[in-house]
A and B are shown apart, each in its own frame.
Chain A
Amino acid sequence: DAGVIQSPRHEVTEMGQEVTLRCKPISGHNSLFWYRQTMMRGLELLIYFNNNVPIDDSGMPEDRFSAKMPNASFSTLKIQPSEPRDSAVYFCASSRQRDRIQFFGPGTRLTVL
Chain B
Amino acid sequence: KNEVEQSPQNLTAQEGEFITINCSYSVGISALHWLQQHPGGGIVSLFMLSSGKKKHGRLIATINIQEKHSSLHITASHPRDSAVYICAAMNSGGSNYKLTFGKGTLLTVNP
Contacts and interface: CB of A to CB of B under 8 A. Distances in A.
Residue in A48, A55, A95, A102 whose Cβ sees the most chain B Cβ within 10 Å: A102
Interface of B is mostly: strand
Contacts of A109: 41
A33 B101 contact: no
Contact of A42 (B41, B42, B90, B102): B102
Nearest to A107: B41
B80 interface: no
Interface string A50-77: 1000011000000000000000000000
Nearest to B6: A42
A95 B99 CA distance: 13
Given A43-B86, A44-B101, A103 B45 contact: yes
A5 interface: no
Contact of B97 (A33, A44, A89, A91): A33
A104 B45 contact: yes
B97 A95 contact: yes
B23 interface: no
Contacts of B97: 31, 33, 48, 50, 55, 95, 100
A101 B98 contact: no
A56 B41 contact: no
A92 to B, nearest CB: 11
A101 B42 contact: no
A42 B95 contact: no
Nearest first, the 7 A-B pairs at minimum CB distance are A104-B43, A43-B101, A56-B95, A42-B103, A101-B48, A101-B45, A42-B101
26 contacts: A42-B104, A43-B86, A43-B99, A43-B101, A44-B101, A45-B98, A48-B95, A48-B97, A48-B98, A50-B97, A55-B95, A56-B95, A56-B98, A93-B43, A95-B97, A99-B48, A100-B31, A100-B90, A100-B97, A102-B33, A102-B99, A104-B35, A106-B41, A107-B41, A107-B43, A109-B41
